[in-house]
Structure 1
Amino acid sequence: MDNLVFTQFSMTRMYFLKIVEAVSKEQANVQPDGFNNTIHWHIGHVLTVTEQFMFGFPQNTTNLPTNYIELFGNGTKPADWKGDVPSIDELFIQLKDQLVRLKQIPSERLQETLESPILKCETFGQLACLSVMHEAAHLGQIQAMKRIIEHVGVKN
């Protein structure tokens, strides 16, 4: 079962990267009607939340700039962005690097009990499953947004 979680991480992330690669720079920053954010935000959000869940960002890891919480954390939106916002290309590289680090997590770690539950997850393994589900949900949002942008011709 432990290997299944890491297989899911790998499969989901590889598909996520494939979809992100197919998004143009213009499409990435369009916010279609009915959506709360842009594709650019979703990409950074998945990276940031996975880093929070799996590596304790920002307290326990320095793999991402701390301003990612203000840019891509829960409740944020591109309309409020200030300062340096990483490009899609930069986020893409960070997503690939993060996958390498995810694969290095020892499978025994999945059995560890969390100090306090996070979103009803009591073990690190449950949190890992939640992280994969979270990424897949945002992948669906990105795919829907991309289709709307392509077929309706939504402009910035």
Structure 2
Amino acid sequence: MNQELYRQFEMTRGFFLRSISKISPELVDIQPQGYNNTIHWHIGHVLTVTEQFLFGKFFSLPGKYVEWFGKGTQPSDWQGDVPSVEELTPELEKQLLRIKEIPEEALEQKLEKPFLGLETFRELAAMSLFHESNHLGQLHSMKLMLERTPH
């Protein structure tokens, strides 16, 4: 992968992982009033959507991840043995290593069909960074709210 783009993934994922490590385990499954999901869901969602965006046909997470953490899902619908934050965190770390292995030439490939106006894999990778940063903001917001309010 292009070194500049990879450094952005490394920085963003590093912030994401450090944020997770600073959240009390007692807070990860509380859904604050006014929020659609939990911190636990956001962590699994970032992992799952990044996998969908960057690895598509080579999706390596168990199939249920899309059912638990895909777009439009929510914890209140979870069934089965949902992976814990402790299980998701090393998957995020391994995924970052796999991102680094994406060949430079793959970045210029056209997508089979445009997605949200994006036409190349490089643009989709940049969208993935934007997506993760957005959810990083959600983690911070939810953490602050949960720490400041009784539950």
Question: Greater shift after overlay, 135-144 or 101-110?
Answer: 101-110
Unmatched tracts of structure 1, length 5 or more: none
- Taking the aligned partners of 2:31 and 2:4, their CA distance within structure 1 comes to 35
- Aligned residue identity for 1:19: S
CA deviations over 1:23-56 (Å, ceiling 9, x no partner): 1221100111111000000000000000000000
Match of 2:85 among 77, 85, 88: 88
How much has 1:152 moved relative to structure 2? 1.5
- Taking the aligned partners of 1:103 and 1:134, their CA distance within structure 2 comes to 18
Q: Which residue of 1 aligns with 2:58?
A: 60
- Displacement over 4 Å in runs of 4+: none
3-state SS in 1 of match to 2:36: coil
The percent of aligned pairs where both chains have the same amino acid is 52
State the number of aligned residues: 151
3-state SS in 2 of match to 1:114: strand
How much has 1:3 moved relative to structure 2? 2.5
Unmatched tracts of structure 2, length 5 or more: none
**What TM-score do you get using the length of structure 1 for normalisation?**
0.93
- Aligned residue identity for 1:94: E
- Taking the aligned partners of 2:105 and 2:3, their CA distance within structure 1 comes to 10
CA deviations over 1:52-105 (Å, ceiling 9, x no partner): 00000xx433x2110001000000000000001001010001000000000111
Match of 1:150 among 143, 147, 151: 147
Q: Would you say 1:75 and 2:76 are equivalent positions? A: no
Question: Greater shift after overlay, 81-90 or 20-29?
Answer: 20-29
- Taking the aligned partners of 1:25 and 1:64, their CA distance within structure 2 comes to 23
Q: Which residue of 2 aligns with 1:126?
A: 123
Q: Which residue of 2 aligns with 1:102?
A: 99
- Taking the aligned partners of 1:97 and 1:8, their CA distance within structure 2 comes to 16
- Taking the aligned partners of 1:107 and 1:22, their CA distance within structure 2 comes to 34
- Aligned residue identity for 1:10: E
3-state SS in 2 of match to 1:37: coil
Q: Which residue of 2 aligns with 1:115?
A: 112
**What TM-score do you get using the length of structure 2 for normalisation?**
0.96
Q: Would you say 1:18 and 2:18 are equivalent positions? A: yes
RMSD after superposition: 1.2
- Taking the aligned partners of 2:36 and 2:123, their CA distance within structure 1 comes to 28
